[in-house]
Structure 1
Amino acid sequence: MSGAGRRRRPGYVAALVPSWIPALDGVEERLTAGARVADVGCGLGSSSVLLAEAYLRTAVTGSDYHAESIELARKKAADAGVSDRVGFEVATAQTFTGTGYDLVTMFDCLHDMGDPLAAARRVRDALSPDGTWLLVEPYAADKVEDNLNPVGRLHYSGSTFLCVPTASPSPAATPWAPRPARPRSATW
Structure 2
Amino acid sequence: MDEGRLMEFVGRFVGDLGATMGAGGVVVGDRLGLYKALAGGRLRPHELAERTGTAVRYVEEWLRGQAAGGYVEYDAASGSYWLTEEQAFALTDPDGPIFVPGAFQLALGALKADEEITKAFRTGDGMGWHEHDGEVFAGCERFFRPGYSANLVGAWLPALEGVVERLRAGIRVADVGCGHGASTLLMARAFPNSTFTGSDYHAGSIEAARKQAGEAAGRVRFEVASAQDFGGGPYDLVTTFDALHDMGDPLGAARHVRERLAPDGTWMIVEPAAGESVADNLNPVGRVYYAFSAFLCVPNALSQEGGYALGAQAGEEPVRRLAAEAGFSRFRRVAETPFNLVYEARP
Measured against the shorter chain, the TM-score band is 0.7 to 0.9
3-state secondary structure, aligned to 1:75 = helix
Q: Deviations over 1:141-165 (max 9, x none)?
A: 1221331222211211111010011
Matched, 1:7 2:7: no
Question: CA 1:15/1:180 → structure 2, altered by over 3 Å: closer, same or farther?
Answer: closer
Q: Which position in structure 1 is the counterpart of 2:201? A: 65
The residue type paired with residue 200 of structure 2 is: D
Matched, 1:40 2:128: no
Shift of 1:41: 0.6
Q: Which position in structure 1 is the counterpart of 2:263? A: 129
The residue type paired with residue 12 of structure 1 is: Y
Q: Give the distance between the partners of 1:180 and 1:82, measured in 2 at CA.
A: 34
- Structure 1 runs (4+) greater than 3 angstroms displaced: 3-6, 176-181, 185-188
Q: Which is further off, 58-67 or 135-144?
A: 135-144
Shift of 1:140: 0.7
3-state secondary structure, aligned to 1:25 = coil
Matched, 1:86 2:217: no
Q: Give the distance between the partners of 1:105 and 1:13, measured in 2 at CA.
A: 15
Shift of 1:96: 0.6
Superposed, 1:19-168 pairs within 5 Å as 19-78=155-214, 81-168=215-302
Q: Give the distance between the partners of 2:213 and 2:206, measured in 1 at CA.
A: 10
Q: Which runs of 5+ in 1 are unaligned?
A: none
3-state secondary structure, aligned to 2:252 = helix
Greater share of helix residues, 1 or 2?
2
Question: CA 1:5/1:99 → structure 2, altered by over 3 Å: closer, same or farther?
Answer: same
Q: Give the distance between the partners of 2:191 and 2:300, measured in 1 at CA.
A: 32
Shift of 1:45: 0.4
Question: CA 1:117/1:13 → structure 2, altered by over 3 Å: closer, same or farther?
Answer: farther
TM-score by length of 2: 0.48
Q: Which is further off, 101-110 or 18-27?
A: 18-27
The residue type paired with residue 104 of structure 1 is: V
Select the structure with the greater relative contact order (CA < 8 A; seq sep ≥ 6).
Answer: 1
3-state secondary structure, aligned to 1:10 = helix
Q: Give the distance between the partners of 1:6 and 1:162, measured in 2 at CA.
A: 23
Question: CA 1:125/1:161 → structure 2, altered by over 3 Å: closer, same or farther?
Answer: same
Aligned residues: 181
Please say if residues 167 and 194 of structure 2, whose CA atoms lie closer than 8 Å, have aligned partners that are also in contact: yes
Question: CA 1:170/1:29 → structure 2, altered by over 3 Å: closer, same or farther?
Answer: same
3-state secondary structure, aligned to 2:198 = strand
Please say if residues 247 and 304 of structure 2, whose CA atoms lie closer than 8 Å, have aligned partners that are also in contact: no
Q: Give the distance between the partners of 1:134 and 1:98, measured in 2 at CA.
A: 17
Please say if residues 95 and 149 of structure 2, whose CA atoms lie closer than 8 Å, have aligned partners that are also in contact: no
**Residue identity (%):** 57
Question: CA 1:48/1:177 → structure 2, altered by over 3 Å: closer, same or farther?
Answer: closer
Please say if residues 177 and 201 of structure 2, whose CA atoms lie closer than 8 Å, have aligned partners that are also in contact: yes
- CA root-mean-square deviation: 2.5
Question: CA 1:168/1:132 → structure 2, altered by over 3 Å: closer, same or farther?
Answer: same
